A and B are shown apart, each in its own frame.
Chain A
Amino acid sequence: QVQLVQSGAEVKKPGSSVKVSCKASGGTFSSYIISWVRQAPGQGLEWMGRIIPIFGSANYAQRFQGRVTITADESTSTAYMELSSLRSEDTAVYYCATDPGWFDPWGQGTLVTVSS
């Protein structure tokens, strides 16, 4: 069973970028689709985008288009989510998850705090 381990918490200034990693173990990385989902404090879940590592192709939710980039490195079985032009509203826990449509399993989450 694949396990996903994410990078640690980040504190960023408004206008900067953040890159969160998601390392997979226990499975064949290239056979998975990886999605990213975020959750603002006290709020619900929001899908951001996904990547098919074997093809390197990603697609994104419209509201994040132009600000988010999802990549994958098959050699290290790691997916990345980079979000640019950060604003306070981007303060959230960011999760990666394998994506056969539904999300399972999930990484443990990475808290990104945007504050001046």
Chain B
Amino acid sequence: EIVLTQSPGTLSLSPGERATLSCRASQSVSSSYLAWYQQKPGQAPRLLIYGASSRATGIPDRFSGSGSGTDFTLTISRLEPEDFAVYYCQQYGNSPYSFGQGTKLEIK
């Protein structure tokens, strides 16, 4: 099973700043089959990125994904107030699917 480790656990930033979230895999993720999700309290997760770098429908272009192999990054170029949430990465290149433990993005 591929273990995904996200860092940092908590990221404290201000609106307008740039956020960089990391997801590292215990082994190479096949064909960059990696997705990112945003989750707000009491809500289901929302898909942001799939295929490591493809934005899902309706996702603002301030969200971008990059990386391959074992190292992946989600970047939010300029934080908006609604971006403060928990973010998860997920790999779907190997069974079983697995998620990272999450990064909480909080307002500084």
Interface residues of A (CB under 8 A from B): 35, 44-47, 59, 61-62, 95, 101-109
Contacts and interface: CB of A to CB of B under 8 A. Distances in A.
B50 A62 contact: no
A108 B47 CA distance: 14
Interface residues of B, number: 21
Most buried by A among B45, B88, B90, B95: B45
A109 B100 CA distance: 20
A102 B50 contact: yes
B45 A103 contact: yes
Nearest to A6: B44
A93 to B, nearest CB: 8
A101 B50 contact: yes
Contacts of B45: 45, 95, 103, 106
Interface in B36-57: 37, 44-47, 50, 56
Nearest to A104: B47
A103 B96 contact: no
Nearest to A107: B44
Contact of A45 (B1, B90, B95): B90
Interface of B: 1, 33, 35, 37, 44-47, 50, 56, 88, 90, 92, 95-102
Contacts, number: 47
27 contacts: A44-B100, A44-B102, A45-B37, A45-B45, A45-B90, A45-B99, A45-B102, A47-B97, A47-B99, A59-B95, A61-B96, A62-B1, A95-B44, A95-B45, A101-B35, A101-B50, A101-B92, A102-B90, A103-B45, A103-B47, A104-B47, A104-B50, A104-B56, A105-B47, A107-B44, A108-B44, A109-B44
Nearest to B91: A101
